[in-house]
């Protein structure tokens, strides 16, 4: 493995990037390749494929996440009586590790549609929702979506359907990952309903490429680190190469706590705690010509709010109180179709028992909904992904120990339940994604009454949802249940949710054309600065009706090009 720096060994770099996930990795990759000196501050440690075991309990031990007792968040959630609850939580730490939460993603990748970039002008305003068009269009991001396919490694197959977005290439660079036999059954059922199923692209290599192995199909994928290196995490796909250029230093166990600015309002340095094993949490500083924030939405807002200066009395870029505003999660729901294998013929039962390959199917027939009876006109809808849950036999067995009345099940009866669940049934899952509309009730602020282990105020996250989101989610969940029924599942159900999706949060630092209504300009530069950029999902005015990771990657590559132009040619040593 390439050498990693855990001590402050150089005072000044061309660029300092805070965070190493999907928002930080592309910038480090592009700038180090271009000859610039790059520093990356990562609060977590460096782990690789050898650290990611096929162990159900590994992720549950939270080895790769920040500890709630050291770094809590305060979560404010709406209650049914109209009041708000306030709780200490650690659920928003997706990955305290080089590469961030991209190490643990499932890699279900969809592009946004052109209409997602003009949500307000396309579908009109919704009362009490802060909807805004993007300051760029799909055509601006399309070349970078294509770049992600190659650089990160996306496997898939383009199948025409009514809502397929425009592409500059005919297909993906890698063929689809292996598919479970249920995919064929799904395609038949969906087409019988007049729908348009298509294989889901995955940020997982279906064949070896550039030193990374192909998928091992162990089932330990989403929520787990990838043992083969096939998953397109920022570390596996980009940061290993960055370090090998000799121009990129990854400072692990480096907790950034303040960005310093000069009398013009521009960023000049980053203060961080060297939290390595022998550092005793020593405060350190890195100077850079360009500083990039890519910490994850609530933490990026928190860092800017925690960095007041001569020109930024309320935090960097917060002249119009836009820092932390318009946070959004991902609205939607889940559902299941459960097959009783004892009721199927032996061939079908044997096929459904197969483990390993992916379901890998999606429907976007309701990405736009034109149901005048339910919605009064055309509205933005969502996506349904049909997936497998990661293996969790211990958790599943634990849920079986009580009957419907909550009473413990013992002895032979419990053994029968276990045998039936693990050998005579198969559970298939779908996930619904639709927009979580930004509102005044969903935002990030600082809680000065609660500090992290370094004495910094923690982030307070208010997560109010718009009722429109739930209405759309319920509509699409019902469609997913109908597909499961058509497939022949013996039981089927679905539920929409209003709780925040901790691993799919974006916004908080939306980009736009005007400083009074956005935190960043069209190039994701913080308003009121010349050299401070934000490249994680914070920039997104809305999340679309898909998982945001592909868009975060693509935009980070786009901003890397902007930064290269601003820096000009690197100095020759």
Q: Does residue 64 contact residue 42 with C-beta atoms inside 8 Å?
A: no
pLDDT of 76 > 50? The answer is yes
Digit-coded pLDDT (tens) for 196-218: 999 999 999 999 999 999 999 98
Proportion of the chain above pLDDT 90, given as a percent: 74
Q: For strand 382-387 and strand 282-293, is the pairing parallel, antiparallel, or unpaired?
A: unpaired
3-class secondary structure for 191-249? HHCCCCCEECEECECCCCECCECCCCCCCCCCCCCCCCCCECCHHHHHHHHHHHCCCEE
* Average of per-residue pLDDT across 368-385: 94
How far from 13 is each of 17, 35, 252, 289, 555, CA to CA, in Å?
A: 10, 12, 16, 7, 23
Sign, Cα dihedral of 463, 468, 469, 475: positive
**Would you give the DSSP letter of residue 444?**
E
Among 24-33, 56-65, 265-274, 547-556, the minimum mean pLDDT is found in: 56-65
Helix (H) or strand (E) holding 268: strand 267-274
* Residue 280, pLDDT above cutoff 90: no
Task: Tell me: pLDDT of 469 over 70.
Answer: yes
Residue 2's pLDDT is what? 42
Please write the tens of the pLDDT for every residue from 126-165. 999 999 999 999 999 999 999 999 999 999 999 999 999 9
DSSP letters for 458-517:
EEEEEE---HHHHHHHHHHHHHHHHHHHHHT-SEEEEEEE-S--TTS-EEES-B-S-TTT
Of 299-313, 349-363, 544-558, give the lowest mean pLDDT range: 349-363
pLDDT of residue 573: 45
- Determine the pLDDT at residue 571: 66
Report how far apart, in Å, the C-alpha atoms of 503 and of each of 80, 100, 425 are. Answer: 24, 11, 29
Q: Residue 111 — φ and ψ, nearest 5°?
A: -80, 160
DSSP 32-94: HHTT--EEEE-SSB---GGG--S-TTTTTTTTTS--TTTS-EEEEEE-TTS-EEEEEE-TT--
Q: In what order do the strands lie in the sheet with 457-463?
A: 84-89, 73-78, 457-463, 442-451
- DSSP string spanning 173-189? SBPPPPB-THHHHHHHH
At residue 332, does pLDDT exceed 80? yes
Cα dihedral: 228, 233, 235, 236 (round 10):
30
pLDDT, one tens digit per residue, over 481-523 is: 999 999 999 999 999 988 888 788 999 999 999 999 999 999 9
Mean pLDDT of 517-545: 97
The reply to whether the predicted model has a pTM over 0.85 is: yes
What average pLDDT does the segment 322-341 reach? 94
In this structure, the chain runs to a length of 573
Residue 59 pLDDT class (50, 70, 90 cuts):
low
Q: Residue ranges per domain, the chain?
A: 12-48+94-157+180-202+225-567
Residue 81's pLDDT is: 87
Question: Can you identify the CATH homologous superfamily of domain 12-48+94-157+180-202+225-567?
Answer: FAD/NAD(P)-binding domain (3.50.50.60)
pLDDT of residue 92: 79
Distance CA 150, CA 146 (A): 7
Beta pairing partners, 239: none
8 A C-beta contact, residue 151 and residue 25: no
Q: What are phi and psi of 554, to 5 degrees?
A: -60, -45
pLDDT at 250 over 90: yes
Give the per-residue pLDDT at 504: 87
- Over residues 88-107, the mean pLDDT reads 87
Mean pLDDT (whole number) for 232-249: 96
58 pLDDT band, cuts 50/70/90, is low
Mean pLDDT computed over every residue of the chain: 91
* Residues 555-571 as b or e (16 or more Cβ within 10 Å = b): bbbbbbbebbeebeeee
Closest CA to 102 of 32, 25, 49: 25
Q: How do residues 400-418 score in pLDDT, each as one tens digit?
A: 778 777 788 888 877 777 7
What's the confidence (pLDDT) of residue 223? 83
Report pLDDT for 8.
44
């Amino acid at each position: 493995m390439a050498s990693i720096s855990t001590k402050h060994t150089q005072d000044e770099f061309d660029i300092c990037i805070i965070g190493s996930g999907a928002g930080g990795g592309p910038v480090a990759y592009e700038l180090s390749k271009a000859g610039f000196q790059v520093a990356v501050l990562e609060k977590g440690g460096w782990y690789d494929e050898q650290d990611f075991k096929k162990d159900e309990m590994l992720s549950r031990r939270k080895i790769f996440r920040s500890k709630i007792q050291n770094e809590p968040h305060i979560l404010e959630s709406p209650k049914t009586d109209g009041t708000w609850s306030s709780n200490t939580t650690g659920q928003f730490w997706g990955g305290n590790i080089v590469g961030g939460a991209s190490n643990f993603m499932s890699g279900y990748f969809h592009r946004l549609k052109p209409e997602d970039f003009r949500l307000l002008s396309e579908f009109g305003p919704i009362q009490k929702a802060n909807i805004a068009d993007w300051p760029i269009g799909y055509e601006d991001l399309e070349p970078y979506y294509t770049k992600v396919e190659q650089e990160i490694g996306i496997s898939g197959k383009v199948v025409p359907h009514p809502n397929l977005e425009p592409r500059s290439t005919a297909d993906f660079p890698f063929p689809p990952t292996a598919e479970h036999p249920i995919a064929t059954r799904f395609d038949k059922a969906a087409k019988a309903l007049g729908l348009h199923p298509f294989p889901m692209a995955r940020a997982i290599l279906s064949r070896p490429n550039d030193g990374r192995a192909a998928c091992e199909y162990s089932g330990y994928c989403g929520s787990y680190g990838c043992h083969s290196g096939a998953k397109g995490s920022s570390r596996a796909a980009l940061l290993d190469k960055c370090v090998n250029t000799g121009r990129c230093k990854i400072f692990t166990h480096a907790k950034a706590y303040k960005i310093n600015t000069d009398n013009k309002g521009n960023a000049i340095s980053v203060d961080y705690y060297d939290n390595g094993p022998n550092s005793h949490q020593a405060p350190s500083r890195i100077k850079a010509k360009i500083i990039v924030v890519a910490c994850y939405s609530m933490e990026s807002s928190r860092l800017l709010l925690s960095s007041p200066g001569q020109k930024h009395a309320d935090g960097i870029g917060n002249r119009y109180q836009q820092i932390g505003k318009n946070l959004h999660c991902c609205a939607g729901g889940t559902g299941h179709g459960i097959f009783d294998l004892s009721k199927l013929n032996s061939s079908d039962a044997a096929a459904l028992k197969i483990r390993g390959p992916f379901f890998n199917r999606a429907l976007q027939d309701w990405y736009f909904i034109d149901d005048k009876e339910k919605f009064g006109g055309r509205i933005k809808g969502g996506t349904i992904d049909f997936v497998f849950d990661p293996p969790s036999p211990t958790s599943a067995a634990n849920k079986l120990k009580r009957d419907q009345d909550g009473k413990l099940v013992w002895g032979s009866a419990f053994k029968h339940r276990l045998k039936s669940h693990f050998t005579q049934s198969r559970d298939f899952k779908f996930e619904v994604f639709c927009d979580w509309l930004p509102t005044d009730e969903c935002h990030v602020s600082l809680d000065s009454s609660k500090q992290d282990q370094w004495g910094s105020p923690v982030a307070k996250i208010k997560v109010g949802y718009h009722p429109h989101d739930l209405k759309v989610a319920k509509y699409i969940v019902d469609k997913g249940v109908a597909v499961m029924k058509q497939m022949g599942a013996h039981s089927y159900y679905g539920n929409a949710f209003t709780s925040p999706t901790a691993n799919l949060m974006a916004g908080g630092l939306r980009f736009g054309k005007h400083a009074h209504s956005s935190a960043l300009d069209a190039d994701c530069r913080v308003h009121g600065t010349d050299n401070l950029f934000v490249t994680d999902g914070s920039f997104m005015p809305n999340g679309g009706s898909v998982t945001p990771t592909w868009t975060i990657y693509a935009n980070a590559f786009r901003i890397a090009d902007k930064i290269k132009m601003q820096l000009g040619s690197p100095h020759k040593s």
